[in-house]
Amino acid sequence: MIGKQIRTFREKKGFSQDELAEIMEVNRSTISKVETGKFAITIDYLVKFAWYLDFNISVLEKQGK
């Protein structure tokens, strides 16, 4: 699941959900929903996560793969 992978990248960077939400200028609940799969993530959000967490989008695996 992409959300779990994003959580892993966030934790590796040492960010809490609150900290990441602040620098991305989104609500903490958005971060939580992305990480738990309760948010239909768009390419715009994927790009933001990749930028702030320093990873290449191509490393993300599709759900069910």
> Per-residue pLDDT tens for 3-56?
999 999 999 999 999 999 999 999 999 999 999 999 888 999 999 999 999 999
Residue 56 contacts residue 5 (beta carbons within 8 Å): no
What whole-number distance in Å separates Cα of residue 6 and Cα of residue 23? 15
DSSP string for 2-25:
HHHHHHHHHHHHT--HHHHHHHHT
Q: Which two tokens stand for residue 26?
A: 């989104």
Instruction: Write 42-47 long-range contacts (CB < 8 A, 24+).
Output: 46/2
CATH T-level fold of 2-56: 434 Repressor (Amino-terminal Domain) (1.10.260)
